[in-house]
A and B are shown apart, each in its own frame.
Chain A
Amino acid sequence: MTDDIHALTAELAANSESLVFLRLGEALRRRRQLDAALTVATGGGQRHPHLADSHDLLARVRSDRGEGDAAFDAWTQVLRLVPGHLGALRGLAFMAFRAGDMDRAERHLEAAVGLSPTDPALRAALQRVRDGQRQSATTSEALTTVDVAGTLLLDQKGRRLAGLMLDVTGSDVSDPVAAELAGVRREAERTARLVGLGEWQRLVAESPDGYWHLAPPTDDTLLLVTADPGTPPGRVAIQADRAFASARRWRERMR
C-alpha cells in the first residue's frame, strides 16, 4: 500500500492534471492519513470542479474526519453534477442514519438500490433500516438517539437483538461487530471481578474514529452506543445512559 501511495504521488507530481488524485486520495483515506487525503482531495477538486467523483472523494474524507456538514455539502454538490450518483446517495444515507433520520436514510438507500438493484450490501442496508423503523414503531422507545452514530443491542451469544451499525461506506456491519462484542463482555466481566471492581457498569473506548460505549442493560444483554469523535464525552455518557434505560425497559417487556 505504501508503495502504491509513493507511485501514485509520483504520477500526480509528474502530471498535476491527472485524475490519479482520485486513487491517491482514496488510498490515503483508507490508511487513515486524513490530513494528506484532504490536501489531495481539495487540490483535485480545485483542478476538476466539474468532476463529481472529486467531490465524492472530498465528502468521504470529510466524513472520516468527523466534518459532517462539509461532507453533506460535498455529497450534495455531487448530486447537482450527477443526479443519482451512487456514492453520494450511499454517503448521504449513512449521514442520515448517523443523525437518526431513518426516513431520509431509507429514501437515499431506495434511490441507490433503484440504480444498483443487484448490490447485496445496499439491499441489506435498506432492509436493516426498514426493520429498524418497524422495530422502533412497535417498541415505542427507539434505541437510537439524536447524534448517536450507531446503537446495537445484542444477547450473550453475540446475536443482534435491535439496532443497526453501518460503516463509513454504508455497509451493514452489525452482525460481525455483535459477534466480536460477546467476547468483549466476557472479558470485561472477568477483569472487573478479578480486580475487585465489583459489577462492571460500563466500558468506554476512545479512538480517532469516535467513542464506543458498552454497558449491560440486563444480565443477558449488551448495549453498544457509538458517537462521532467530536462529541463531548459527557454528552456521549448521557446519550448512552438514555439508550441504556430504554434498552432495559425494552428487554423487561420482552420477558
Chain B
Amino acid sequence: MSRGFETILDGITRVQGVRSAVVVSAEDGLVVAESSMEGIDSAALAALTASLVSRLGRAMAAAGQLPPAVIHLEGDRGHVLARPAPADLLLVAVAEATANVSLLRLTLLDAAERMPS
C-alpha cells in the first residue's frame, strides 16, 4: 500500500468506532488499499459500495442532479459512509452503530481532499 493511502486510511480508522476503511476503484469496485480492524470482506464491501454509489448517481442524474458527494448507509448495527475522491476513487468506511458519524463524515471529506491522485 502506498504511504499516501496508508496515512489517509490511518486517519479514518482513528475515528472511534470505525471498523474498516477502504480505498476503492469506483469504476470496477476493486480494492485499491485497505485498513481493516477486524474480519470484514473488503472485496465485497468495495464492489457493493461502488455499485451502490453508481446506482444512486444514475437515479440522481434521472432527476437532473449532480452525483452524490457523500453517501451514508445506516443499518441497525452500524454505518457505511462513502465519499468519491479524485482519480475515480471512493473512500469507504464501515463503523459501529455508536460511532460519531458526523465526525466520520468530516474526516472522509478532509481525507478525500488529501488523496494522492
**Chain A residues in contact with chain B, CB under 8 A?**
32, 150, 165, 167-169, 173, 176-177, 179-181, 183-184, 187-188, 190-192, 194-210, 212, 226
Contacts and interface: CB of A to CB of B under 8 A. Distances in A.
Nearest to A213: B72
Given A184-B55, A192-B75, A195-B94, A210 B65 contact: yes
A184 B65 CA distance: 16
Contacts of A183: 55, 58
Nearest to A224: B59
A180 B75 contact: no
B8 interface: no
Contact of A195 (B45, B62, B72): B45
A206 B80 contact: no
A197 B76 contact: yes
Main SS at interface, chain A:
mixed
A202 B63 contact: no
B15 interface: no
Interface of B: 40-41, 44-45, 48-49, 51-52, 55-56, 58-60, 62-80, 94
A203 B62 contact: no
Given A203-B73, A207-B67, A176 B94 contact: no
Nearest to B81: A204
A208 B13 CA distance: 27
5 contacts: A167-B65, A197-B77, A201-B75, A205-B68, A208-B69
Main SS at interface, chain B:
mixed
Contact of B63 (A173, A188, A208): A173
Report the 8 A-B pairs with minimum CB-CB distance, sorted nearest first: A197-B75, A180-B59, A205-B68, A198-B77, A209-B65, A167-B64, A176-B62, A198-B76
Contact of A197 (B52, B66, B69, B78): B78
A194 B46 CA distance: 11
Contacts of B70: 205-206
A188 B59 contact: no
A205 B63 CA distance: 14
B76 A187 contact: no
B48 A190 contact: yes
Contacts of B60: 205, 207, 209, 212
A167 B59 CA distance: 12
Given A194-B45, A201-B74, A212-B68, 9 more contacts: A188-B52, A191-B48, A191-B52, A196-B40, A197-B76, A197-B80, A198-B78, A205-B56, A206-B69
